[in-house]
Amino acid sequence: MLGQALIEQERSTLNEQLAQQSALNRTRWAIEQFGDQIVLSTSFGVQSAVMLHLVTQVKPDIPVVFIDTGYLFPETYRFAEALTERLGLNLKVYQPLMTAARQEALFGKRWEQGREGLEAYGLMNKVEPMNRALSDLKAEAWISGLRRTQASTRQELNIIERQNKTLKIHPIIDWNNRDIHRYLTAHDLPYHPLWEEGYVSIGDWHSTTKLGEGMTEEETRGLKRECGLHELSGQADWQI
> 72 with 204: CB under 8 angstroms?
yes
Q: Is residue 229 part of a domain?
A: no
Q: Is residue 227 part of a domain?
A: no
SS3 218: helix
Q: Is residue 124 part of a domain?
A: yes
125 in catalytic set: no
Q: What letter represents residue 57's amino acid?
A: Q
pLDDT for 118 equals: 92
Per-residue pLDDT in tens (0 to 9) along the chain, 240 residues: 676 776 777 888 999 999 999 999 999 999 999 999 999 999 999 999 999 999 999 999 999 999 999 999 999 999 999 999 999 999 999 999 999 999 999 999 999 999 999 999 999 999 999 999 999 999 999 999 999 987 777 787 999 998 888 899 999 999 999 999 999 999 999 999 999 998 888 999 998 888 766 666 666 655 544 445 555 443 333 343
Rounded to 5°, angle at Cα 96 from 94 and 99: 125
CA dist 146 and 150 (Å) reads 8
Mean predicted lDDT score pLDDT of the chain: 88
Give the chain's domain count: 1
Task: Please give the residue range of the domain that contains residue 43.
Answer: 3-221
Q: Is residue 77 part of a domain?
A: yes
CA dist 134 and 122 (Å) reads 17
Q: Is residue 232 part of a domain?
A: no
- The CATH number given to whatever domain includes residue 157 is 3.40.50.620
**Annotated catalytic residue within 227, 228, 229, 230:** 227
Q: Is residue 72 part of a domain?
A: yes
SS3 16: helix
> 151 with 157: CB under 8 angstroms?
no
What one-character DSSP code corresponds to residue 47? T
Q: Is residue 16 part of a domain?
A: yes
Question: Per-residue DSSP letters for 83-141?
Answer: HHHHHT-EEEEE--SS-HHHHHHHH--GGGSHHHHHHHHHIIIIIHHHHHHHHHTT-SE
Q: Is residue 147 part of a domain?
A: yes
Question: Per-residue DSSP letters for 147-202?
Answer: -GGG-GGGTT--SEEEETTEEEE-TTTT--HHHHHHHHHHTT-PPPGGGGGT-SS-
Q: Which helix H or strand E contains 66, and what residues bound it?
A: strand 63-67
